[in-house]
Chains A and B, each alone.
Chain A
Amino acid sequence: MRKISALLPLFLILLLSGCWDQGDISELVIVDMIGIEKDKNTDEFVIYLQIVNPTSFATQEKRIDSSPVYTFVSKHKSLKAAVDKASLQVPRHLFFAKTNFLLLSSDLEISDMEEIFNFLDRNSETRAPIQTAVSLQPLSETMFRLTKINILPGQWLFENLQASKRHFSATVLKYRVRDNVEKYYRDGNLLFPAVVFLDDNAQTTDFLNEVDTSSGHAQFVGGVAYQKNAEPVLLSEEEMALYNLLKNQLNQLPLTVSKDEEVAHFLDINRCKSKKKTIGENPYRFGFRITCKADFLNSKVTDTLTLKAIEEMESEANKSLEAKLSELTDKLQEEELDLLGLFSRYPSMSKMEKRSAFKNATLTYDVKITVNDVGNIIDSYSDEEEQE
């Protein structure tokens, strides 16, 4: 009897896992990127599954004549059924655990997002971080594009987003599908980076004026915010950076401080801390106290840089950043878009009440920027000479 009870855990383990669970690698199709849009005519989800063709790039004898990915398209009212339909085209198990990127169409509504994230959150294979972005172009074009360099588009976008965050606006955070679900239920809205795919056939470099890039084929251009019963709101790259600043996730932000149109100082704002304070209720008033460090990058001003000039520069920079933040606030308030989740801690308020309260709230900013790195061009004695 003791032996049987000792063996019991072994039998229990047989229930957890076993030969019937096995799926050899060769029986998987690895989904690299998922694209989802909606067919407005039939009200069906269109799901694009970009799956990896490993033999084209993961072997020493690379088959450069074949594509690194294949894209399958499937349509259905329900996403689950659309994926099931897609699996009829591929006689293997669709493997979502290595999915890098979720590309959403810009014409999706927030109710569609609920279905998308519900579907992804329930799938046990998609718990890994998946970067999500909104394509400003139709997915029927973008999902069939390949990178110029021979790597997976989804992986390329994933890494590009990470890198662009590192070098520009936000600090690098890995998002899970779950984070989007939580944000939606907490703040009532969703915010994704926006991506545009550049024209491969462009003969000129004109497009570089709009999107600053010189390599690759896609560029992140700000963000798209969704909320119920409203059109999506497009945020510019700078507005995304300011949003990240208020969320304490800013990595760095370039700021131009100009005395007049011809002369300007260029600063790199970084190491920011943003503290939110509720000043009053009815009407709601919120104050943000922001302290930042700045690196002096360059100047078009020909005068000698003195301590006094730096103080002036800091003062100008404070005003400039406050103005930019106020502009962003005005835009968000006009759209009734509480991206910062200021009213998420008022559970008794309905979503509509929250939106209207946000619209009528007063947001004030107190910015203090300290220039603490000016390189070697400061002349600290100039002020004294002038006084003499």
Chain B
Amino acid sequence: MLNMRKKGSFHKRIEHIKQAFGQPEDLIFHIVEKGSVSLAIIYFKSLVEQVELKRGVVKKIQASSEDDYFLDEYMNIVTTPASLKESSDELLNDLLEGMAVIILSNSNAYVICDVSSTEGRDIVPSETEINIRGPHEAFTERLDKNIGLLRMRIRNPNLRLVSLQLGNVTKTKVIVSYIEGTAPKEIIDEVFTRLNQVDINIILESQMIEEAIVDKQASLFPTISNTELPAKVASRLIEGRVAILTEGTPFALTVPALFTEFFQAPEDYYQRWDIASLLRLLRFTTFIWGTLVPGLFVALTTYHQEMIPSLLLYSFAAQREGLPYPSLVEVLIMEFIFEVLREAGVRMPVAIGSAISIVGALVLGQAAVQAGLISAAVVIVVSLTAVANFVSPAYNFGVTGRILRFGFLLAGGTLGFYGMFFLFLVVLIHSASLQSFGVSYLTPFAPLNLRDLRDTFVRLPDNWVKNQIPKGIGRKE
């Protein structure tokens, strides 16, 4: 880092800063002569709140008398939050964080004034996690706003927000949040250990951190959960989890993430427990449906026809009469078409997005069946599966279901029920072996914790088991 103390003169220091940044256009040096002392206010035009800077710093300094001031006196002249830094080591970093830096020709220290811009997206409802009842606010890309949203929900002195800087190049600010006394110490320590070991250049989204700190990269199952709902993060903090908020993305990470967590929607807790339980069961069922049904269909029609009820078998036989491809190929074609349409639907501009649904409905629905390429039953199976996949409240877990679906499809198509059952065992063994920050992934099923089962397949009312933090989270394996 720079060592300006040795470089001596005021102008040399300015020149050095200019050169360090490559003389960018938006780096402003505002030089004011105050008696015998030269003073420079340095800032990035693009990173500061200009009105605040002018009103609270520039005008105040200009309006001050011509007397010689010591550097620490400028902290009282400016009206913005300011602090004195003795060493110049972090000067460049402070500038990048949107601070205005004041240097004086008679001192090697400097003053930072917090005039960083709070411009950015307003707090708007989440577009990725929709709920009908309950708070709609979502996190934004600004960390300070996100912290505010969190503090608003947990007004408790034990809420800890520890700041870190990650990314060798991007120097992204990351906040680790937990509730002291609630979150198990082992998990907190584990989070800090892993974050401190992160050695990547670029962090633009929390996924990059997730990938760097995840327990097992070669797994389909997510062991770190993400959400852009502050209410969800707050409830998880209260349950003893740890949240990681990242500057520049509305998606916060929470750990440990357990299998059952991906079936829980915030709305479950904002409506009657019986309705919530029914919906919870529905989500589990649709996950199994979405993962297994195409494979089951292919296995049944290719290997185990005797298991299909007679009339349904005749119907399938009538539909398959004269079709060119075997069931497996038919389903693969349909799944491929559907995945293409889905991806196109996500990436396409909204204005022409409706075209996709029309083409999709035509291609998937009528045309393919009428053209004799695929049977109507396959269209029903694939479309129902696709719809079932959207029921998952967590997008990343939905993707897991999608990938598993193809696995089961190929297993069912090549080895029948034997293959599917074998793959099921492999998936079960794998998921039972997973851990998320020291907690077993299948908690509370394995290891079994009867008390925590109240909030798994169903959600029992809170007053039945009052104010109890899930025991499983605190269990160190």
Contact = CB atoms under 8 A, between A and B. Distances in A.
Interface of A: 9-10, 13-14, 16-19, 21-26, 28, 30, 52, 54-55, 57-59, 95, 97-98, 100, 125, 128, 155
Contacts of B310: 98, 100, 155
Interface string B301-327: 111011000110111111111110011
A58 B311 CA distance: 8
A388 to B, nearest CB: 66
Contact of B306 (A13, A55, A125): A125
Contact of B317 (A10, A54, A100): A54
A19 B302 CA distance: 9
A143 to B, nearest CB: 19
Contacts of A21: 303, 416
A17 B306 contact: no
B419 interface: yes
A10 B422 contact: yes
Interface of A is mostly: mixed
B17 interface: no
A13 B419 contact: yes
Most buried by A among B305, B311, B313, B317: B317
Interface residues of B, number: 27
B414 interface: yes
A95 B415 CA distance: 20
A26 B323 contact: yes
A174 to B, nearest CB: 14
B416 A30 contact: no
A254 B268 CA distance: 60
B314 A54 contact: yes
Contact of A54 (B321, B323, B416): B321
A26 B414 contact: no
A18 B303 CA distance: 9
A17 B320 contact: no
Most buried by B among A19, A23, A52, A54: A54
Nearest to A98: B310
Interface string B421-462: 010000000000000000000000000000000000000000
Contacts of B313: 25, 30, 98
Nearest to B309: A98
Nearest to A128: B306
B426 to A, nearest CB: 9
B311 A28 contact: no
Given A58-B318, A97-B306, A24 B327 contact: yes
Contacts of B315: 54, 58-59
5 contacts: A13-B418, A13-B422, A23-B305, A54-B321, A55-B318
B314 A24 contact: no
A19 B318 CA distance: 23
A58 B415 contact: no
A24 B320 contact: yes
Contact of B416 (A17, A58, A128, A155): A17
B422 A9 contact: yes
A147 to B, nearest CB: 15
A213 to B, nearest CB: 25
B418 A59 contact: no
Nearest to A59: B318
A100 B320 CA distance: 22
A134 B326 CA distance: 40
Most buried by B among A14, A55, A59, A98: A98
B418 A17 contact: yes
Contacts of B417: 17
Contacts of B327: 24-25
Contacts of A14: 415
Contacts of B415: 13-14, 17-18
A10 B417 CA distance: 13
A17 B305 contact: no
Most buried by B among A16, A22, A25, A128: A25
Contacts of A26: 317, 320-323
A165 to B, nearest CB: 19
A18 B302 CA distance: 11
Contacts of B419: 13, 17
Given A24-B326, A58-B318, 8 more contacts: A18-B414, A23-B305, A25-B305, A25-B320, A54-B317, A55-B321, A57-B314, A58-B317
A5 B279 CA distance: 42
A7 B303 CA distance: 24
Contacts of B320: 24-26
Contacts of A19: 414
Contacts of B316: 25
Given A10-B422, A19-B414, A28 B302 contact: no
A78 to B, nearest CB: 25
A10 B306 CA distance: 25
Given A21-B303, A22-B303, A98-B306, A28 B317 contact: yes
B418 A25 contact: no
Nearest to A154: B310
Most buried by B among A17, A97, A128: A17
A79 to B, nearest CB: 21
Nearest to A61: B318
Q: Which 4 interchain pairs have the tightest Cβ spacing? A: A97-B306, A54-B318, A58-B318, A26-B320
A30 to B, nearest CB: 7
Interface in B297-354: 301-303, 305-306, 310-311, 313-323, 326-327
A16 B302 CA distance: 15
B317 A52 contact: yes
A25 B302 CA distance: 7
Interface in B381-430: 414-419, 422
A30 B326 contact: no
A22 B317 contact: no
A316 B169 CA distance: 106
A54 to B, nearest CB: 4
A25 B326 CA distance: 9
A95 B302 CA distance: 13
Nearest to B418: A17
Contacts of A30: 313-314, 317
